[in-house]
């Protein structure tokens, strides 16, 4: 294959880098505010078991599928499918489109985390004392005519700075610095939270298995979360794997990424709930325990009630900024690599065009929560429609078609080579993987998709 000898293309320096960049994409805001709240509400330890099962059954086979497509072709998402089977190029376009649309609102939320980080550092976040006051602040901030947009733009420009430096000097170097930083910060936060008095109630909330709360809906929710959290179905893993070197063991990398992603989600829960229960912040029914409100209303109020609250708030929002940044980098790269390779633009030009489009789209998404809230698509604001369209439709469809492509159309010889399966010795594993990709993943993803549309 021509791609194998394509020496001009960037490759990551080491196997560790492969794990770090891919884990950087996977670990994001979804781990830190979505997973813990979901687990708490859906049966704690029971949800966790279910989630791990979903990661193994659905997440790992699909990640391996995307890794194989990426490294076998050594192309951006569109180029990868075009090279492997021209008729499937549309799947590459779907990936680039999802990445583009997700970025539109992900930058807005990332901008909020940056604004809150800045306020924690300057101390302005510690000025209020009730969760209600924090609710007012957050709601006013969200609809402010320019502040959230400016912060989203700053985030876009920071991401641009790293992407423009290139794969080795930008993405790889930043992952080597940011991922260890993220772990240290998270471990410190979780340790501090667990050491607070009466923190065990929070641990119980997160981990005590309650199987009575597990319904078919819970299973689908766990699946959707596993999918989003592992960044599957939008070309990130294809694009990153196209930079992996030949020595990288795809199976081991996928397992490491999935384990790291799950550990981060759990640690995030341990950083939030024990501290929140210890401070008695959830005793009022008014206080949100999930979603952005948990992070931007409940937690600032919680930090405010702690000794050294400003410091803890700064550390926590730094964690969010870092988690968000490693994810925006991967999405920005999907679009940049596509423009660079398919439109024959220079890398800097491609990054620049992606950035300019993002300045525009993120401003629209941000303003749609305030000034432009009357602009609706099927009754949803621009922000919500970007979220709905990507999470509920394009991503599951992308995953579904990826599993079908790799299960049925991808050359078996290439798959064996990419996965390092030689001879008859390990054929059982390949048969198992193919069974999952051909039958199990498509059926499950179809169910997720239909459920998202309210058809199930
Ligand atoms: N996996 C990221 C998270 O958990 C989100 C993400 C989705 C990142 C898609 C990149 C691509 O938040």
- Place 172 in a pLDDT band, splitting at 50, 70 and 90: very high
Identify whether 415 is part of a domain.
yes
Identify whether 196 is part of a domain.
yes
Give the closest residue (by CA) to ligand 1 atom 3: 28
pTM of the model: 0.94
Identify whether 366 is part of a domain.
yes
Q: Are the C-beta atoms of 449 and 233 separated by less than 8 Å?
A: no
**Pocket lining: 328 vs ligand 1, CB cutoff 6 Å:** no
Best of 327, 335, 336, 398 for a ligand 1 pocket test (most atoms within 8 Å of beta carbon): 327
Question: 74 C-alpha vs ligand 1 centroid, how far in Å?
Answer: 22
Res 62 pLDDT > 60: yes
Domain of residue 373, residue span: 15-452
135-165 pLDDT, tens digit per residue, is 999 999 989 889 999 999 999 999 999 999 9
| Listed residue (441, 439, 26) closest to 230, CA to CA | 26
Res 20 pLDDT > 60: yes
For the four alpha carbons of 405, 256, 214 and 293, in that order, the dihedral sign comes to: negative
Mean pLDDT of 64-69: 97
Identify whether 191 is part of a domain.
yes
Ligand 1 atom closest to the CA of 395, numbered from 1: 9
Mean pLDDT of 82-103: 96
What residues pair up with 116 in beta bridges, in sequence order? none
Res 1 pLDDT > 50: no
> Of 1-5, 57-61, 271-275, 397-401, which gets the smallest average pLDDT?
1-5
Residue 152 main-chain phi, psi, to 5 deg: -60, -40
Burial of 428 (0-12, 13-18, 19+ CB in 10 A): exposed
Identify whether 416 is part of a domain.
yes
Question: 102 C-alpha vs ligand 1 centroid, how far in Å?
Answer: 9
301-360 pLDDT, tens digit per residue, is 889 888 888 999 999 999 999 999 999 999 999 999 999 999 999 999 999 999 999 999
pLDDT score of 2: 38
Identify whether 9 is part of a domain.
no
Number of domains present in the structure of the chain: 1
- Place 7 in a pLDDT band, splitting at 50, 70 and 90: low
- Place 286 in a pLDDT band, splitting at 50, 70 and 90: low
Ligand 1 atom closest to the CA of 261, numbered from 1: 4
Question: 371 C-alpha vs ligand 1 centroid, how far in Å?
Answer: 28
Best of 30, 234, 322 for a ligand 1 pocket test (most atoms within 8 Å of beta carbon): 30
419-455 pLDDT, tens digit per residue, is 998 876 677 889 999 999 999 999 999 988 888 888 8
CA distance 452 to 448: 6
| Listed residue (410, 22, 78) closest to 251, CA to CA | 22
Identify whether 58 is part of a domain.
yes
Please state, for a pLDDT cut of 90, what percent of the chain lies above it: 70
CATH for 217: 1.20.1740
> Of 4-13, 19-28, 261-270, 301-310, which gets the smallest average pLDDT?
4-13
**Pocket lining: 268 vs ligand 1, CB cutoff 6 Å:** no
Identify whether 55 is part of a domain.
yes
Mean pLDDT for the chain? 92
């Amino acid at each position: 294959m021509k791609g194998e000898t394509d020496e001009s293309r960037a490759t990551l320096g080491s196997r560790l880098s492969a794990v770090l960049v891919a884990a950087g994409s996977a670990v994001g805001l979804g781990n830190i505010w979505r997973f813990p709240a979901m687990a708490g509400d859906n049966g704690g330890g029971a949800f966790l078991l279910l989630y791990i099962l979903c990661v193994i059954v659905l997440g790992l086979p699909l990640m391996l599928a995307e890794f194989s497509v990426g490294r076998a072709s050594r192309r951006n998402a569109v180029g990868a499918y075009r090279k492997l089977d021209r008729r499937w190029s549309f799947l590459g376009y779907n990936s680039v489109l999802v990445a583009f649309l997700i970025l539109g609102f992900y930058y807005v939320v990332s901008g909020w985390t940056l604004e809150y980080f800045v306020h924690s550092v300057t101390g302005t976040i510690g000025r209020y004392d009730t969760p209600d006051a924090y609710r007012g602040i957050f709601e006013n901030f969200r609809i402010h005519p320019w502040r959230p947009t400016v912060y989203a733009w700053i985030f876009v420009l920071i991401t641009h700075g790293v992407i423009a430096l290139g794969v080795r000097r930008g993405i790889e170097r930043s992952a080597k610095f940011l991922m260890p930083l993220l772990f240290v910060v998270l471990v410190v936060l979780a340790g501090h939270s667990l050491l607070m008095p009466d923190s065990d109630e929070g641990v119980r909330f997160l981990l005590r298995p309650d199987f009575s709360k597990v319904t078919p809906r819970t299973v689908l929710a766990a699946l959707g979360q596993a999918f989003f959290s592992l960044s599957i179905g939008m070309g990130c893993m294809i694009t990153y794997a196209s930079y992996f070197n030949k020595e990288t063991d795809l199976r081991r990398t996928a397992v490491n990424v999935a384990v790291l992603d799950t550990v981060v989600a759990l640690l995030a829960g341990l950083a939030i709930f024990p501290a929140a229960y210890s401070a008695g912040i959830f005793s009022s029914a008014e206080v949100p325990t999930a979603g952005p409100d948990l992070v931007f209303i409940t937690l600032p109020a919680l930090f405010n009630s702690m000794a050294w609250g400003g410091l803890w708030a700064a550390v926590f929002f730094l964690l969010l900024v870092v988690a968000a940044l490693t994810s925006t980098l991967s999405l920005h790269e999907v679009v940049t690599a596509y423009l660079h390779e398919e439109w024959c633009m220079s890398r800097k030009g491609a990054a620049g065009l992606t950035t300019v489009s993002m300045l525009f789209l993120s401003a629209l998404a941000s303003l749609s929560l305030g000034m432009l809230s009357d602009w609706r698509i099927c009754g949803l604001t621009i922000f919500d429609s970007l979220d709905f369209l990507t999470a509920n439709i394009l991503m599951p469809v992308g995953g579904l078609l990826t599993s079908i492509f790799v299960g049925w159309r991808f050359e078996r010889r290439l798959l064996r080579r990419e996965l390092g399966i030689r001879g008859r010795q390990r054929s059982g594993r390949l048969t198992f993987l193919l069974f999952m990709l051909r039958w199990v993943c498509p059926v499950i993803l179809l169910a997720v998709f239909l459920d998202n549309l309210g058809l199930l």
